[in-house]
Structure formats: C-alpha cells, structure tokens
C-alpha cells in the first residue's frame, strides 16, 4: 500500500481515546549481595554493580592499579536489585501492564511482589514482562536477581549435552581475562580484550519503565527512504510495530506526519490485523517529492538534514505517538568487476557518489555499559567531525550504542558501519542460542535502522578470518565450524535484517572478500585478499614508517599501532612514575597485547634514538616517542591508502576507497591503539588525523631513488582555483628552503593524481646537501605544499624524511613558547606562539592538568614563529594556562 498524503496541514488528534500510561522506574534502587550476601547499598538505575559499589564507597576506583583483579569477586557473585513503586487505580485498570527493561546485563529473574514475572539472557534485548496480575493499588515491590555472568558462561560451556567445544574457551593469559564469553550474549569485551580490562558486570544498564495500555502501544518505527536515480521522489517504506499484549486482533488508525521543508505533510489510514506473539506490524509506503527535502550527506560531502516523522496510533481505547528523524540518502556497497579484470571493487556510494570512507573503529564508549548511557558524547562527534571523518565502525566486541549516539552520528554525517556483537571467536548455534540472537537482531535493527547514519550491518568482526586462518586450531573439524558460521550469520541473522529493511546492506564479516567470500561458501581461503573486500592490517615487526610495509587493499577497515597515554592520564591509574617504564611489572600488567611492550620499544628504536633508560627523563621521553611513532606510522599508512584512490598497480591492487584506523577511544589507561585516551586527552595521532584526513592532501613516497608525489581531493566539488604542488628541500639547521620545484596539477575527485616524480639524489645534490646520497639524506628532507596561484595554502604541509631520523644530523633548535594570549575568554580559546631557530620536529605543546585541545600539535616547524589555538575544556585563567603550558620536540636536550 502506498500512502497518499491528504494535504499539508496541522495534525489534529482526536481527543477521545486515553493515552498509554508510562511510569519511569529509574533512579534510586537498592542492591544486595556480595560473596557473603551481606552487602546492601544504594544503586542508581540505569546502572551496574561496579558503579554502585564504587559510588557507595564499598570498593575503590576499579580503574586504578590492578583494580580489575582486586575486584574480580564482584563478577563471581549474584546480586539483587530492588525498589518499590506506587501503582494508581488508573494504571491497574489497564488491560496490560508491562515492565520494560531497555537493558538487563545479563542473566536476570524479575519478580513483582514476590512473584516471578520473567527472565532475561541477553544484554542486547529489550525485555517486556506483563506484571498486571501481580500489581496492587499503592505500594509494590520489584526485584531483579542477577546470576553471575561468569558462573553462567562457565556452566553453559561445561554443559554435558554440548557436542563439541566452541573455541576459544579462554582468552590468552596476557588479557588477564575470563573464560567462555562466547557462550553468552553479553558485551564480549567485558571479560577482557587486548586493549581493556575484565569487568564482568551485572546490572540494569538501560532505562526502565512501566507501560499500561488497553489496546496497544507503538514499540518501534522503521522508516528507511529509498530512491531510484531517475525518480523525483523518495519512497519511504514505513513499518509501525505495535505491541498489543495477549489479544487476537487489533484495529485502529495510523496518522503519519512528516515535517518537510515545504510544511507538514499528513496522512492517515485504517488497519485491522491479527496479533502474532503480542505483536502487529502495520506497513505503508510514503512518497516524498525530492523537492521537499534536502539530501543527507556524509561529512565533507554536503549537509546533514533530517526530518521529523511522527506516527500516531489511535484505536477505540488508545492513543500513542512515536517519532523518528529520518534522512534522505541512498547507500550502496559497490562490488563490481574493475577494468583491470582483477578482483572486485569495494566502496560505498552515497547518493550515487563514490565516497572515500575516512574514520576509525570505536570500542565501547565505557567498559561499564551503564556509563555509556550518561556520558556526554557530543565532544567525541565534534572531534571526529573536526578530523574530517565520515565513517565510524562500531565494532562487534562491544555494545550497540544508545540512540543518542546514532542521532549525533546522523547530525555529524558520520556513517556507521554497525557490526552485530560477535568478535574474534566461534559461536554456538543450538536452538536456544539462535532464538536468543533472533530477538537481539529484531530489537537492534528495528531500533536503529531509521538513522540515516547506519549504512551497513555486518555479521561479525574477524570470524571469517578465525576459521580461514585457523586461529583456534579448528581445521580438523573445519566443516562443523564452518556450517555453524554459515548458519548463524547467513541463514539466521541476514534474513532477520532483510525482513525489517529489505534494502539493507549486509556484510557477513570483516575482513572479508565480500561477494568473493560468498562464492567460496562464505569463508574465503584468504579473507584478507587485497583484490577483494576489506582488510585488517597489523604488523609490529616491519618498518612502520615505510609505505612498502602496507598492503594495497580495496578498503582498509582496521590498522593500527600502540602508544602510551600521557603522564597525567597514567597518574589516574598509578602513583609511581617507575610503573610507566616499558619493562615495569605494572606495564606488563596493563599491556594485554602479547609482546606489546617490547614491540613498542623496538618500533620506536627503528626510527628514533630513545634516551638512556637510566636517564631522568626516560619515562617522559618514552611516552612522547611512543606517540610520535604511532602518529607518524598512522599518517604514512593512511596517506598510502589515500594515494591509491582511483589508481591500481601492475598486480591490480589499489582503487582503495576506505581508511578506518584502529582505534578511536580507550576504556582504561594502558598502552593501546587509541587516538584519544581514557581521560579524553588527545594523543598525537588524533592531531595528525586532522591533517591526514584533510579533504585535500599532498603526500609522497620515496622508493628507490625516486620521490613520487601525489595530490588527493575528496568531496563533491573541486576548488575553483589553479593548483600547484611545491616540493622543497630543507637542511635541518636552516629555516630557508634550499630549492623548490613547482608543478601545476589538475586535481581529480575520483583519483589520486601524480604531482611529480623527483630524482632524490639529484635534488639533494642541487640543494647543496652533498653529492654522496647516503650522507645527503642525513642532512636534508623534503617538504611538500599544495598551493593555489596566489600561494594560498590548500592542504596541510607535508614532509618526507629520506633517512631514518636516528641516523640524521638533526639540528638542536631552540624551541620556545613566545607568548600565550587570550583569543576569546568566553569560548575558552587562547593562542600559543612557538618560536624556533632551526627545523623542529614533532613540536609538542602540553598543558598537563589543564585539559583541552590545540588547533594543531606535534607539528614539524619550518617557520620561525607559529601560532596555534588552545581551547580549554573548562574555565581557566590566562595565568593558569601560562603556568601550565610546556613545549618539547624530538631533539629536546632534556632527552639527551
Ligand atoms: C566475606 O566473609 C569473609 C569471611 O568472614 C571475609 O573474610 C570477607 O572479607 C567477606 N567479604 C566481603 C566482601 O564482605
Ligand atoms: C590489589 O591487589 C594487589 C595485589 O594483590 C595488592 O597489592 C593491592 O593492595 C590491592 N589493592 C586493593 C585496593 O585492594
Ligand atoms: C547464583 O544464582 C544462580 C542462579 O540463580 C544459582 O544457581 C547459584 O547457586 C547462585 N550462586 C550463589 C553463589 O549464590
Ligand atoms: C477486524 O477484522 C475481524 C476479522 O476479520 C473482524 O471480525 C472485526 O470486526 C474487524 N474489526 C474492525 C474494527 O473492523
Ligand atoms: C573434532 O570434533 C570431535 C567431536 O565432534 C572431537 O572428538 C575432536 O576432538 C575434534 N577434533 C579437534 C582437533 O578439535
Ligand atoms: C530495494 O530492494 C528490492 C528488493 O531487493 C529491489 O528490487 C529494489 O531495486 C531496491 N530498491 C532500491 C531503490 O534500492
Ligand atoms: C565553483 O564555480 C562554480 C561556477 O562558477 C560555482 O557554482 C561553485 O559554487 C564554485 N565552487 C566552489 C567550491 O567555490
Ligand atoms: C584561533 O581562533 C580564532 C577565533 O575562533 C580564529 O579566528 C583563528 O583563526 C584561530 N587560529 C588558529 C591558528 O586556529
């Protein structure tokens, strides 16, 4: 049925029927339990046991020291949440009264006035239990008894009726983690990961309310606009999911109103449907003229308009309303043969425009799921937007985020690659497990599908690779596990997604060869094939600053290097600076990646000269050098991927259309792959991302003796200026370029364009760096600029080091903070001016305890004076900032 809009009008609702009654159950509850069942403390809902124990002072800060081990007993015991609430006569007169839990973590038995009303076994499902018959007018009691998730997972794994093991049973010892998490539908990382601690929480982590109704209430709205390229209207399939309780049929009217740019369009239709398992799905299709709405675009390609769609359900005894904000865009994951005949493409096309995906992978916003409900996420999205990101992969070992997260993504133009919550493991496929998963998929897809930001659903993270690369010694029984894999992601999850959104894009895994994997029975021989699909790339032994180290894939959906958080962040986790040495027992404790601390030191020492481990400033240097190592490695790798946009090599590799680095955020203070640390401080990587993801960049690679320079431009339009590339040669000790080679270029939105190729030995000789290339490389470096005819700067400055920095004759510049001034006190913006008398590398401004971000940091300074802005997180005086701010650089004498 296609819904015909009646007219533009103001919707007038019939005032006859009563509304659905909603009564929140959030706020102060009590929780009892503990190893001796003797603890009773206040607990806030939404909340979790670790938060409650910390807030009541029962335990200390779990993020301090070895808190994850000290407090592991919390996850081993049962806990009961309870509260009382008042029921009115009006509520009790409803035909159905449900208690609705947005999130129960994980195994709970819910009782009302001593009567059991339901149980839960999936943290990602919304539970409704009918409690009407247990209620009385006046005071009532509700209790939620949680069984230990650790004990339950173990019992499930050891059930004698299991036919075979589902590996891995336990994480590697370095994780200091808990076993059998793949048996349960709980955030997989809550039993530890390589970047995070084990906190096997329980709790009521989502909002809770009571709903009373006579006929039905609106449980979900799904509206997902579609458009054929030639149409001048959008087709919007709309599904209204009504919960009707136990009743045979339900009839009523659905009123729809959409606020377009031309006014409010309204329409209305009647329905009469039978109820199936408490539920009725009422569907229609709306047609919206393209002229009445603006298209939703990813960040960097246009604006992000969304429109309010209001649905009102009216029946004999009821009236209920629900709203979604929809965006008008088309999305396609293009996998088609390329001109070269090798492999298939793999890229996102939004509104018919191929998009180079730029962004990162997100781990859980907080390891305690309840905390991700209340954090202010707006700064995180502002950060991504300022770094020109347009995609975020919500990774499968965490949680589906709160609605507000996706609304912010809609507004920021951040496309969400949404994994289902399965990662790095095999999973059960018995009937009970699959039924449980189906509930989860139904709930999550219905809840999130209307967000224009959600562009793809992916079955899992790395589980195709788990099988193909035999991570857990499953090759002998490959067929058993492969069949389970296909059953779960292809036969069960995929059709559930398509039932809700027939035009959804579904990808079975990541990394995957996509259609090629499907051809090979869903598990490809090599799911990381660079000619197909996406790749995840990690290598901690090769040169991390050499483009040759990196693959040339269609799409890089994960890649990363570790670094250390800042000292101030570390001091929230330990009091001892000695703990921050890479060989300390504490660093070994917090380093979950096997061999990580040694790898980090080796990777640094391949490029730079760390100070003597005995020197006073070693820890400070190690932290700073580790951030340089990571930032520069990620810059070189990302620019390498961008330089293969629209370009292939002789093997047919290339046409790269995505770079999502691992990882955006942190859940504790540890050596990890993040760009933003647990305290919200930016590592150098996050500053570099602003430059390496800039819509226009100039980049280069030195292979053999040739410096190849490329320019890349993303977006919908080329700049209306004549563009030139400038390659300069500098000596380390001078701020004057020795030579400059100018090349006119024609930028191309669809491909990386060669700017020039320079014979490096000749260029260095001409510049006066010396005729012996090996020696000349140590004295000089290349500096790249993208300019218009008026020499206006179009892209961030770039630089290529012809030699490893540890071998170079670096200058010893005098780098100083010249001034700190107020720019806008109301907006907390200050300016900081830094001076130097020679080339200064990785100039790093730090405000220590004063939190905030600079407009630029970690830069290479070739100008005698450079001014950047600092925006403080909270109010600070000029004097306080002047006292706090310090500057360092690679050749800082403090490190000698
Ligand atoms: C539980 O009881 C034991 C033995 O009385 C005691 O040692 C332990 O500290 C108690 N644990 C808690 C968390 O109260
Ligand atoms: C945590 O455990 C460590 C190691 O057993 C111990 O030294 C430390 O005192 C404990 N801390 C707390 C707060 O219980
Ligand atoms: C925790 O609850 C489970 C299930 O309700 C029960 O089987 C188990 O014995 C309880 N454990 C403890 C330590 O009370
Ligand atoms: C709805 O349909 C049922 C069965 O077809 C019918 O008995 C009932 O009268 C209808 N109700 C309304 C309100 O039209
Ligand atoms: C293969 O599975 C069978 C049971 O189906 C089991 O006995 C055997 O140990 C498994 N082999 C391996 C190597 O896991
Ligand atoms: C939506 O999916 C249907 C069924 O797969 C397909 O026929 C149709 O072309 C798709 N429409 C758009 C606009 O993508
Ligand atoms: C470039 O010029 C065209 C035609 O003059 C104009 O429509 C467009 O807005 C300009 N684009 C930019 C980015 O300035
Ligand atoms: C600093 O902030 C001011 C005010 O927002 C702005 O005009 C100026 O361009 C900024 N400077 C830098 C270097 O970002």
In Å, the largest CA–CA distance within the chain is 94
Contact 34 CB / ligand 1 (< 6 Å)? yes
Q: Look at residue 11 in the predicted model and tell me its pLDDT.
A: 45
- Domain membership of residue 298 (yes or no) is yes
- pLDDT value at residue 12: 47
Which ligand places an atom closest to the C-alpha of 823?
8
Query: What is the phi/psi pair of residue 852, to 5°?
Result: 165, -175
Q: Would the CB of 649 count as within 6 Å of ligand 2?
A: no
Q: Indicate which ligand has the atom closest to the C-alpha of 719.
A: 7
pLDDT in tens, 638-659: 999 999 999 999 999 999 999 9
Question: Does a structural domain hold residue 146?
Answer: yes
Would the pLDDT of 786 be above 50? yes
**Above pLDDT 90, what percent of the chain?**
96
Tell me: do 446 and 518 sit in the same domain.
Answer: yes
**Whether residue 258 is found in the same domain as residue 373:** no
Residue 217 has pLDDT above 80, yes or no: yes
Where residue 2 falls among pLDDT bands split at 50, 70, 90? Answer: low
State the ligand closest to the CA atom of 53.
1
Number of domains in the chain: 5
Average pLDDT on 584-601 reads 98
Same domain, 369 and 480: yes
Q: Is the pLDDT of residue 72 over 70?
A: yes
Closest atom of ligand 6 to CA, residue 235: 13
pLDDT of residue 10: 47
pLDDT tens digit string along 244-280? 998 989 999 999 999 999 999 999 999 999 999 999 9
Please enumerate in sequence order all residues whose Cβ is within 8 A of that of 657, keeping only pairs 6 or more positions apart, or say none: 345, 346, 347, 348, 354, 355, 356, 357, 554, 555, 645
Domain that holds residue 234: 215-326
Residues 242 and 365 placed together within one structural domain of the fold: no
Closest C-alpha among 838, 833, 839, 874 to residue 856: 833
Q: What are 672-708's pLDDT values in tens digits?
A: 999 999 999 999 999 999 999 999 999 999 998 999 9
Q: Which of 558, 639, 653, 803 is catalytic?
A: 558
The answer to whether residue 35 scores a pLDDT higher than 90 is no
Task: Give the pLDDT of residue 258.
Answer: 97
Q: Which two tokens stand for residue 253?
A: 């009217």
pLDDT at 15 over 90: no
pLDDT at 777: 97
The pLDDT of residue 18: 73
Nearest CA residue ID for atom 3, ligand 3: 147
- Cβ(585) – ligand 2 distance below 6 Å: no
Q: Are residues 833 and 800 in the same domain?
A: no
Among 163, 180, 206, the domain-final residue is: 206
Active site residue 336: no
Residue with tokens 């949440």: 81
Q: Pairing between strand 859-861 and 816-824?
A: unpaired
Expressed in angstroms and rounded, the spacing between residue 832 Cα and the centre of ligand 8 is 11
Q: In ligand 7, which atom is closest to the CA atom of 717?
A: 13
Kindly state whether residues 142 and 220 are assigned to the same domain.
no
Give how far the C-alpha of residue 725 lies from the chain's centroid of Cα atoms, to the nearest Å.
34
Arithmetic mean of pLDDT, 205-234:
97
Sign of CA dihedral 348, 349, 350, 353: positive
Do 492 and 601 lie in a common domain?
yes
Q: What pLDDT does 896 receive?
A: 76
Residues 343-393 pLDDT 10s: 999 999 999 999 999 999 999 999 999 998 888 999 999 999 999 999 999
Distance from C-alpha of 740 to C-alpha of 763, rounded to nearest angstrom = 10
Q: Could you tell me which of 394, 362, 360, 378 has the C-alpha nearest to residue 685?
A: 360
Any atom of ligand 6 within 6 Å of the Cβ of 503: yes
Looking at residue 1, its pLDDT comes to: 62
- Model pLDDT for residues 739-781, shown as the tens digit of each residue: 999 999 999 999 999 999 999 999 999 999 999 999 999 999 9
The pLDDT mean for the chain works out to: 96
Classify strands 415-419 and 391-394 as parallel, antiparallel or unpaired: parallel
Among 151, 158, 159, say which to mutate for ligand 3: greatest number of ligand atoms within 8 Å of CB: 151
Across 841-850, average pLDDT: 98
Q: Could you give the count of Cα atoms lying within 13 Å of 819 in the half-sphere of its Cβ? A: 7
Instruction: Provide residues with CB under 6 Å of ligand 7.
Output: 717, 719-720
CA 115, CA 147: separation in Å to the nearest integer?
18
Confidence band for 19, pLDDT divided at 50, 70 and 90: confident
Tell me if residue 90 falls in helix, strand or coil. helix
Residues 393 and 510 occupy one common structural domain: yes
Last residue of a domain, one of 761, 784, 807: 807
What's the rounded mean pLDDT across residues 77-94?
A: 97
What residues contact residue 494 under an 8 Å CB cut-off, 6+ apart? 459, 506, 508
Q: Tokens at residue 656, please?
A: 């790269």
Domain boundary among 657, 689, 721: 689
CATH number, residue 834:
2.60.40.10
Beta bridge partners of 283: 239
Specify the 3-state DSSP secondary structure of 484: helix
Helix axes 403-412, 378-386, angle to 10 degrees: 30
346 falls within a domain: no
Answer whether residue 340 is part of any domain: no
Q: What is the Cα–Cα distance from 696 to 708, expressed in whole angstroms?
A: 17
CB distance 703 to ligand 6 below 6 Å:
no
Is pLDDT larger for residue 671 or for residue 15?
671
Do 610 and 463 share a structural domain? yes
What's phi and psi for 535, nearest 5 deg? -130, 155
Whether residue 341 is contained in a domain is answered as no
Question: Is 462 known to be catalytic?
Answer: yes
pTM: 0.96
CATH number where 71 lies: 2.60.120.260
180 CA distance to ligand 1 centroid (A)?
Answer: 27
CA 132/CA 129 separation, integer angstroms? 9
Q: Alpha-carbon distance 659 to 45, whole Å?
A: 39
Which ligand minimizes its atom distance to the CA of 248? 4
Ligand 7 atom closest to the Cα of residue 720 is 1
* Residue carrying structure tokens 């709980």: 186
In a domain, 22, yes or no: no
Is the minimum distance from the CB of 70 to ligand 2 under 6 angstroms?
yes
Confidence class for position 14, pLDDT limits 50, 70, 90: very low
Q: Which residues are within 8 A (CB) of 567 and not within 5 positions of it... i.e. 6 or more apart?
A: 577, 580, 619, 620, 623, 848
Q: Whose CA is nearest to atom 13 of ligand 2?
A: 60
User: Which of 224, 226, 506 gets mutated to test ligand 6 (max ligand atoms within 8 A of its CB)?
Assistant: 226
- Spacing, Cα 504 to ligand 6 middle (Å): 9
pLDDT at position 707, please? 98
Cα 317 to averaged position of ligand 4 atoms, centre (Å): 16
Distance 121 CA to ligand 3 centre (A): 15
Atom in ligand 6 nearest the alpha carbon of residue 227: 13
- Cβ-defined contacts of 877-884 (< 8 Å, 24+): 878/820, 878/821, 878/822, 878/830, 880/850, 881/820, 881/830, 881/847, 881/850, 882/820, 884/847, 884/848, 884/849, 884/850
Cα 482 to averaged position of ligand 5 atoms, centre (Å): 14
CA of residue 562 to ligand 1 center, whole Å = 39
**Using one digit for the tens of pLDDT, what is the confidence trace for 158-197?**
999 999 999 999 999 999 999 999 999 999 999 999 999 9
Question: Residues 793, 851: one domain?
Answer: no
Q: Are 651 and 541 found together in one domain?
A: yes
Number of other residues whose CB lies within 10 A of the CB of residue 730: 23
Same domain, 825 and 868: yes
pLDDT band at 36 (very low <50, low <70, confident <90, very high): confident
Give a yes or no: residue 9 inside a domain.
no
**In a domain? residue 21:** no
Are 556 and 656 in contact by the 8 Å Cβ rule? The answer is yes
Looking at all shown ligands, the one closest to residue 231's CA atom is 6
């Amino acid at each position: 049925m296609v819904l015909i809009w009646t007219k533009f009008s103001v919707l007038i609702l019939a005032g006859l029927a009563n509304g659905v009654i909603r009564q929140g159950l959030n706020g102060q509850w009590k929780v009892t339990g503990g190893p001796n069942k003797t603890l009773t403390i206040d607990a806030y809902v939404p909340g979790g046991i670790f938060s409650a124990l910390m807030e009541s002072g029962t335990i200390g800060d779990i993020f301090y020291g070895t808190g994850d081990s000290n407090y592991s007993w919390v996850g081993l015991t049962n806990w009961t949440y309870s509260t009382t609430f008042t029921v009115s006569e009006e509520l009790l007169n409803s035909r159905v009264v449900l208690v609705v839990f947005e999130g129960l973590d994980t195994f709970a038995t819910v009782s009302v006035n001593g009567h059991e009303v339901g149980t839960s076994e999936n943290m990602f499902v919304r539970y409704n239990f009918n409690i009407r018959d247990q209620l009385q007018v006046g005071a009532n009691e509700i209790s939620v008894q949680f069984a230990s998730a650790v004990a339950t997972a173990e019992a499930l794994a050891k059930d004698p009726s299991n036919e075979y093991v589902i590996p891995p049973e336990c994480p590697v010892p370095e994780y200091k983690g808990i076993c059998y998490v793949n048996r349960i539908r709980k955030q997989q990382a809550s039993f530890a990961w390589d970047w995070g601690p084990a906190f096997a929480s329980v709790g009521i982590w989502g909002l809770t309310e009571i709903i009373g109704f006579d006929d039905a209430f609106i449980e979900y709205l799904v509206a997902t606009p579609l458009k054929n390229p030639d149409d001048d209207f959008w087709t919007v399939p709309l599904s209204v999911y009504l919960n009707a309780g136990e009743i045979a049929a339900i009839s009523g009217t659905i009123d729809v109103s959409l606020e377009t740019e031309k006014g409010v369009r309204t329409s209305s239709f009647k329905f009469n449907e039978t109820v199936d398992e408490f539920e009725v799905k009422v569907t229609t299709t709306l047609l919206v003229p393209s002229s009445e709405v603006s298209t939703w675009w990813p960040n960097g390609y246009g604006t992000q308009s969304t429109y309010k769609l209001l649905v009102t359900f009216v029946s004999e005894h009821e009236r209920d309303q629900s709203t979604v904000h929809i965006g008008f865009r088309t999305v396609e994951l293009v996998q088609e043969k390329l001109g070269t005949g090798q492999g298939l493409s793999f890229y996102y096309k939004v509104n018919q425009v191929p998009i180079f995906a730029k962004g990162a992978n997100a781990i859980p916003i907080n390891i305690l799921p309840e905390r991700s409900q209340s954090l202010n996420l707006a700064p995180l999205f502002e950060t991504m937007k300022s770094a020109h990101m347009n995609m975020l992969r919500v990774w499968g070992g965490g949680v589906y985020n709160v609605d507000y997260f996706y609304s912010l993504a809609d507004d920021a133009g951040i496309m969400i690659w949404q994994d289902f919550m399965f990662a790095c493991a095999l999973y059960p496929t018995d009937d009970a497990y699959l039924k449980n998963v189906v509930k989860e998929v139904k709930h999550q897809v219905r809840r999130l599908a209307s967000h224009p930001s959600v562009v793809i659903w992916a079955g899992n993270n790395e589980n195709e690779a788990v099988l193909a690369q035999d991570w857990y010694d499953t090759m002998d029984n490959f067929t058993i596990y492969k069949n389970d894999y296909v059953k779960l992601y292809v036969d069960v999850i995929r059709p559930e997604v398509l039932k809700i959104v027939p035009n959804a894009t579904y990808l079975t895994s990541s990394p995957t060869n996509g259609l090629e994997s499907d051809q090979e029975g869903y598990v490809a021989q090599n799911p990381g094939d660079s000619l197909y699909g996406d790749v995840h790339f990690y290598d901690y032994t090769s040169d991390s600053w050499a483009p040759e180290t990196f693959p040339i894939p269609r799409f890089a959906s994960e890649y990363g290097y570790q670094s250390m958080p800042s000292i101030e962040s570390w001091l929230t986790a330990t009091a001892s600076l000695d703990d921050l040495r890479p060989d300390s027992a504490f660093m070994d404790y917090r380093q979950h990646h096997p061999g990580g601390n040694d790898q980090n030191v080796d990777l640094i020492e391949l490029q730079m000269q760390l100070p003597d481990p005995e020197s006073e400033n070693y820890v400070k240097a190690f932290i700073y050098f580790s951030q340089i190592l990571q930032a520069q490695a990620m810059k070189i790798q990302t620019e390498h991927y961008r330089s293969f946009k629209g370009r292939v090599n002789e093997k047919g590799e290339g046409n790269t259309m995505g770079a999502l680095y691992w990882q955006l955020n942190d859940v504790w203070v540890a050596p990890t792959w993040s760009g933003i640390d647990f305290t919200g401080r930016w590592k150098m990587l996050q500053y570099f991302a602003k430059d390496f993801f800039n819509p226009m960049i100039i980049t280069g690679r030195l292979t053999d003796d040739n410096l190849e320079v490329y320019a890349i431009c993303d977006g919908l339009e080329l700049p209306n200026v004549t563009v030139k590339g400038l390659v300069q040669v500098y000596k380390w000790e001078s701020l004057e370029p020795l030579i400059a080679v100018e090349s006119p270029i024609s930028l191309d939105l669809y491909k990386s364009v060669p700017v020039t190729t320079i014979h490096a030995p000749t260029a260095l000789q001409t510049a006066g760096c010396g005729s012996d290339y090996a020696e000349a490389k140590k004295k000089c470096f290349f500096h790249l600029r993208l300019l218009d005819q008026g020499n206006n700067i179009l892209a961030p400055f770039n630089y290529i080091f012809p030699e490893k920095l540890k071998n170079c004759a670096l200058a010893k510049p005098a780098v100083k903070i010249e001034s700190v001034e107020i720019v806008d006190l109301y907006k907390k913006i200050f300016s900081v001016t830094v001076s130097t008398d020679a080339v200064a590398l990785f100039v790093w401004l730090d405000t220590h305890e004063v939190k905030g971000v600079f407009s630029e940091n970690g830069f290479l300074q070739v100008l005698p004076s450079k001014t950047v802005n600092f925006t403080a997180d909270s109010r600070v005086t000029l004097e306080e900032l002047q006292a706090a701010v310090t500057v360092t650089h690679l050749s800082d004498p403090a490190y000698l």
